[in-house]
Structure 1
Amino acid sequence: MGPLARTGIGIALACGVLVTAVGVGRNSDSDHEKEPPKGPYVALGDSYTSGPKIPPQTGDPAGCDRSGRNYPALVARELGIEPADFRDVSCSGATIAHLTAPQSTDHGTNPAQLSALSAGTMLVTLGIGGNDVGFSSLITNCVTTGALYELADHFTDVSGKAPCERRYTSGDTDTIAQQIHTTGDQLARALHQIKRRAPGARVYVVGYPAILPAKGTDCDDAMPLAPDDVVFLRDKEQQLNTMLRYRARAAGATYVDTFTPSSEHNACSPESTRWIEPLRPSSPAASVHPNERGERGMATAVLHAVKD
């Protein structure tokens, strides 16, 4: 979904499927197993997890842009997890590589995120992949192209493709789909590492909320995209989430769908209801990133999965 928070337009867009436990019956032991863990809880991820510019900004290093009201903090509070048992190591601009290697920021270095895990970790949330796919530059390029074509009043060519779609697809070649596939392979290895380091943890892969609406004509100057490119980009985000769902299932993790509940609260929705801020935010949040309402909505989706 360039770094998601550093560019201000990163999206990390920066995705998995719900893995449902199947049992032959219900008893006190199985009920106990389904009780939400009380920690230790480790939150991993990029800027859609960290919550850049949502007050209060907290944590070390400051360059990771973590909010005290991001979805991991809200989940920890709701589950009654003690502060000593909660570690949020998410960081703006993080890629899958930063799960196992340090990440340099403008204000300090974030250690490899998986270093926060241990054999005692009982709950892990992971929201990552958008930066690996390059949604930051994708959105920037599509907005620029859309604005130029709006001036020309010309959104498609003889191929029937919108300008941004034409830039990233040619014949049978779809560069975004290729990047999503490569990212999926990297995520599979990372999930294996999480399982190895925290074998007793329940792992939740958190998908990305809807950035754009289903209808291309529902966006205005807040997100100046060619209408068909709105549809193209929404489809690519859904492909990214589908990959995350698949990889979560394959690794025995649980996928958390934040796309469905946020579909009518995208960056082109009214200011009073949107979860994602447009290019010029009207609420404290990075552009094209979740605002506080969005982080609350994501927390609700995570809590529903954890308590299910």
Structure 2
Amino acid sequence: MKRLFYGRLSTARVATDRTPGSGVATGRMVRGAVGAIALAGAALGGTAVPAAAAATEYVALGDSMASGPLIPDITGPIGCGRSTHNYAHELAARLSATLRDVTCSGAKTTHMTQSQSTSVGGVDTGTVPPQLDALTASTALVTLTIGGNDVGLVGIAQDCATLDPTATPCKGEFEDQVAQRTRDFGPKLSAVLDGIRARSPKARIVVTGYGLYIKQNGCWPVQPVLPTDANFLQGSVNALNDMIRQQTTAHGGTYVDLVAPSAGHDACQSASKRWVEGYVPVHSAAPLHPNAAGEAAYAGVIGGVLGG
């Protein structure tokens, strides 16, 4: 059996950013509070609310699903593939918040407290500081998207690509590995959430899951994964989301589901409807990652949950 190979992306370790993200050749693998925070208020005792108030201090943490690699325009360290149109920037604009965006492609939970090495097209682009360093005691809102790289979902999705309808599904090869990594991720996320709370005790902590990447049974060969593997891959995303939800609620945070709102916007849909790109992008975005429409939609979903 042969599986597709897609060349490494030329931005921000996108190929190693293991979240569920251009030429084609053959080969086995593809490597490639805020309502309370909003500072609006009502006049009390006839006193008018000041026209200008201090902006909400908002810190965005996370991996490439949050950073938005290959979506114009780039901002910050080039190796992080951070876009001015990722969900953090879109959300900050909605909230009129002061944003510190330290999201970075390739980030794992370890990079919340340790520096991260970055590269572009295999060329070293230096390191970025631990993401939790951006937090302060006055931070009022924190968003976090993390876990896909800890579990390795993009790499596995790449390895599962095939144009052979008779190929053996990859589920049997990776199922146990993904399940174990997801279990191992739970305590790691717990430690990250504790770290956020210690640094920003007054902040509202909002943690997103990952979205709907491929519909039930997929759409082979439009997206080159067999029906069994399409269900395995999205099922793995859903299992990771469940772990994220459990840990977030246990730590007093707000979990935001992105799967349900993404129905009808997965990589099998038309270019005008999809929020995430497939193995070969049709918009300026990384393969198997949200595009600009997806990032803007996620900002809307998060803002709705926050009441902003």
What TM-score do the two structures reach when normalised by structure 2? Answer: 0.82
Aligned to 1:65: 81
Q: Which residue identity lines up with residue 74 of structure 1 in the other structure? A: E
Post-superposition Cα deviations, 1:128-151, rounded to whole Å, max 9, x if no partner, equal 1000001122111111xx33xx2x
Aligned counterparts of 2:209 and 2:255: Cα–Cα separation in 1: 7
Aligned counterparts of 2:15 and 2:280: Cα–Cα separation in 1: 10
Aligned counterparts of 2:17 and 2:214: Cα–Cα separation in 1: 14
Aligned to 1:40: 57
CA drift at 1:62? 1.3
- Percent pairwise identity: 41
Distance 1:9-1:274 versus aligned 2 partners, 3 A rule: farther
Cα RMSD over matched residues?
2.2
Aligned to 2:48: none
Question: Does the residue aligned with 1:120 lie in a helix, a strand or coil?
Answer: coil
Alignment gaps of 5+ in structure 2: 1-7, 22-32, 40-54, 120-124
Contact 1:210 1:259 survives alignment (8 Å): yes
Aligned counterparts of 2:183 and 2:126: Cα–Cα separation in 1: 31
Equivalent residue runs for 1:4-153 within 5 Å: 6-8=13-15, 10-13=17-20, 34-36=36-38, 38-59=55-76, 61-81=77-97, 85-106=98-119, 107-143=125-161, 146-147=162-163, 150=164, 153=165
Distance 1:253-1:8 versus aligned 2 partners, 3 A rule: same
Aligned to 1:165: 171
Aligned counterparts of 1:230 and 1:58: Cα–Cα separation in 2: 33
Question: Does the residue aligned with 2:100 lie in a helix, a strand or coil?
Answer: strand
Aligned counterparts of 1:42 and 1:286: Cα–Cα separation in 2: 23
Aligned to 1:237: 237
Contact 1:35 1:307 survives alignment (8 Å): no
Query: Structure 1 or 2: larger helix share?
Result: 1
Aligned counterparts of 1:7 and 1:73: Cα–Cα separation in 2: 20
Contact 1:9 1:139 survives alignment (8 Å): no
Aligned counterparts of 2:234 and 2:263: Cα–Cα separation in 1: 10
- Number of positions where the alignment pairs a residue of Structure 1 with one of Structure 2: 269
CA drift at 1:86? 1.4
Contact 2:116 2:127 survives alignment (8 Å): yes
Contact 1:8 1:288 survives alignment (8 Å): no
Post-superposition Cα deviations, 1:113-166, rounded to whole Å, max 9, x if no partner, equal 0000011110000001000001122111111xx33xx2xx4255xxxxxx2111
What TM-score do the two structures reach when normalised by structure 1? Answer: 0.82
Aligned counterparts of 1:9 and 1:97: Cα–Cα separation in 2: 15
